[in-house]
A and B are shown apart, each in its own frame.
Chain A
Amino acid sequence: MNWTDVNPDEQSGALFDEVLKPLAIGKREAGVEPYFVSGPDATVGSYFVPPKVMSMTPADFEFPGAGGAEGLINALVAHWAAEGESVLATMAPRLNRIAGALSQAAAHDDGGVDIFCYTLF
């Protein structure tokens, strides 16, 4: 199958179904800490945490992947690898295929986000 012939949304959906969903269920069953907590905690005095970037160094200004999709994905994979998330890093080829398909469909995309996609705020 030529991956670029497949609708990018279908590819993203397949990535979710075939990789993210089993991974999420597996992590949950193994009792792995979630990436974020879902509710209040009466035992802590504050919910503040230190910012990931506290002040800007020259390196912080460098655009991840120099503004292209492949570079962005490579930067993300490196970020995950540095965090010890090697399983996530294996998604790189599929993310690249989605980006490739989206780039072919770009003429139909106005850059806007579905108004109901609140996680992108």
Chain B
Amino acid sequence: MSETVRIILNGDERAVPAGAMLAAALLGLGLRRFRTSVHGEPRAPLCGMGVCQECRVTVDGRLHVRSCMTPCREGMRVETDEP
């Protein structure tokens, strides 16, 4: 992998590929629980194109951001649903 940018995932600094979409980068880091469903199940991206809303995370303090539509940026703070 050529260039990387740093994001802060749940408080930890992580390197992700520059130019990657956030959902893709988070999957690459091994994340499985992007959000928690009404009944407490972990959910992860399904459609990859902004329709299903399963990949929503908190980005720079903004809740419910679709990570599949969000390019990674240097210093981006990302919080996922903790179990």
Do A and B come together as binding partners?
A: no
B residues engaging A (CB < 8 A)? none
